[in-house]
Amino acid sequence: MKRMISKTINIRLKSAIICLAILFNSILLLSSCGSSASKEAVVEVKEVLPENIVELNADQYKMANVKMGAIEFRSLSDLIKINGLISAPPQNIATVSTPMGGFIKNTSLMQGSQIKKDQVLAMVENPEFIDLQQNYLESKNQLEYVEADYNRQKDLYKDNISSAKSFQQVTSEYKVLKGKMNALGQKLALIGINPETLTETNIQRAIAVKSPISGFVKQVNVNIGKYVSPTDVLFEIVNTSKLTVELTVFEKDIHEISIGQRLRFGLSDEGKDQYIAVIYQVGKVLQNDKTIKVFATITNPSVRLIPGIYITASVETHNNSMTALPSDAIVQFDGKDYIFVFDRVKQENGKAITEYKLVQVKRGASDNGYTGVILPEGFDIKKAKIVIKGAYNLMAAKKNAGDMAC
């Protein structure tokens, strides 16, 4: 009997111990679940930004140097880049020679010397100059004698005193001498000697070589004592007051060029196109290299423009009014063009965060620092605030994903 009671007590104790163990494990399990739930409750949920949004806090905004602006309507021209050079028109270039050969007596000019029209460039002397003047004076004196005889024979012939043959002989001699004297006079005028003022007392052995135009001496090919012939070029003179732009246009661009179009160009050390010219002549015949020559008048000349300088000009082809922005407002990403538009300012942890939206556009003509843009359908031009400065910094924030973006 005692054994049965003892056995029953042991069974009950084991059952109680098992129940206590199950209860303890349940408490531990519930405690673990509560702790996990608590931890999950305190996990911070991070905001996922859309692909077309960039955020900046106040400090990052200053670093980005962002400046806002608005869409504008501007008349922009399509531009064609064309190579050319500065040149002077033919009427502003003079090649100076002497009509008759001789020795250079004196000259004081050097390359770059400024001269005026009819200024003496050099003195050339030659004994033939003396002979030419002597022949002219002799012919002049002979003509005076023959002319008097001609007038006398003419009167006698009218009165039937002199024969027709005598009058014809003196008439022929008179005309020959008169023609000879006129020819000699033209030769004298050609070398710069006035035959009307030439006398036996002012015969010259040297003649003056004068400049036919005002300008600057481009080339000097003489020195004192050098013999020059009529075919030698003594000086080259260029008048730089009315320079032109000479462009070489390729066949593919010819149909875009016409008289009256404007072009801009600049010198390499000036950094921008600050000179303007207007096309006044377009060639009609293709050269062997499939190009034509186009000439334009410079509207704002400068002393810095020198004939022979090579330039690259931007020719305006079409002038259209379109929506436009400063060229720096348009950035490229994955081969497409975008602009940044102000979206909103929000608060995070007590700090102001500025959001900008990336909007895809199509690039148009560029002119004078502005570029035309074709905006997406439904874009509100009046309300939109565009990033016109600092767009490249915002794009860098998007690409680098963290340097500047929040």
Cα–Cα distances in angstroms (integers) from residue 71 to residues 46, 208, 265, 332, 372, in the given order: 35, 68, 28, 18, 10
To which H or E segment does residue 23 belong? helix 2-42
Q: How far apart are CA 127 and CA 210, in angstroms?
A: 20
Task: Give the tokens for residue 305.
Answer: 């423009």
Q: What is the pLDDT of residue 403?
A: 42
State mean pLDDT over 306-322.
Answer: 82
For the stretch 163-184, pLDDT in tens is: 777 778 888 888 888 899 999 9
For the stretch 31-43, pLDDT in tens is: 554 444 444 444 4
Cα–Cα distances in angstroms (integers) from residue 382 to residues 70, 71, 263, in the given order: 8, 8, 33
State mean pLDDT over 95-111.
Answer: 92
> Which conformational region is residue 106 in: left (phi greater than 0), alpha (psi within -120 to 50 degrees), or beta?
beta
CB of 58 closer than 8 Å to CB of 351: yes
Percent of the chain with pLDDT over 90: 33
- For residue 24, pLDDT beyond 60: no
The SS3 assignment for 11 reads helix
Look over the chain and give the mean of its residue pLDDT values, rounded to a whole number: 82
- For residue 99, pLDDT beyond 50: yes
Percent of the chain with pLDDT over 70: 83
How confident is residue 157, by pLDDT bands cut at 50, 70 and 90?
confident
H helices, E strands: number in the chain: 5, 21
- For residue 347, pLDDT beyond 50: yes
Q: What is the pLDDT of residue 339?
A: 92
Q: How far apart are CA 356 and CA 362, in angstroms?
A: 19
Nearest to 206 by CA among 126, 138, 281, 142: 126
How confident is residue 26, by pLDDT bands cut at 50, 70 and 90?
low
Cα–Cα distances in angstroms (integers) from residue 339 to residues 60, 120, 284, 379, 380, in the given order: 19, 66, 44, 12, 14
Question: Which residue has better confidence, 254 or 5?
Answer: 254
Q: What is the pLDDT of residue 40?
A: 47
What backbone phi and psi angles, to 5 degrees, belong to 234?
-85, -45
Contacts of 263-267 with CB under 8 Å at 24 or more apart are 263/82, 263/296, 263/313, 263/314, 263/315, 263/316, 264/313, 264/314, 264/316, 265/84, 265/311, 265/312, 265/313, 265/314, 266/311, 267/304, 267/305, 267/309, 267/311
- For residue 210, pLDDT beyond 90: yes
Q: What is the pLDDT of residue 242?
A: 84
Flag the least confident range among 114-118, 250-254, 388-392, 400-404.
400-404
- For residue 406, pLDDT beyond 50: no
State mean pLDDT over 5-11.
Answer: 48
To which H or E segment does residue 38 belong? helix 2-42
- For residue 127, pLDDT beyond 60: yes
Q: What is the pLDDT of residue 282?
A: 92
For the stretch 233-258, pLDDT in tens is: 999 999 988 889 999 999 888 888 88
- For residue 22, pLDDT beyond 60: no
Q: How far apart are CA 152 and CA 136, in angstroms?
A: 24
Task: Give the tokens for residue 52.
Answer: 């077309």
Q: What is the pLDDT of residue 48?
A: 66
Task: Give the tokens for residue 208.
Answer: 């003056």
How confident is residue 295, by pLDDT bands cut at 50, 70 and 90?
very high
Q: What is the pLDDT of residue 340?
A: 92
Question: Which residue has better confidence, 131 or 162?
Answer: 131
Q: What is the pLDDT of residue 245?
A: 93
The SS3 assignment for 354 reads strand
For the stretch 358-394, pLDDT in tens is: 999 998 877 778 888 889 988 988 889 999 998 888 8
For CA atoms 129, 135, 136, 137, the dihedral sign is positive
For the stretch 249-286, pLDDT in tens is: 998 888 888 899 888 888 866 656 688 999 999 988 88
Pairing state of beta strands 67-69 and 370-374?
Answer: unpaired
pTM of the model: 0.56
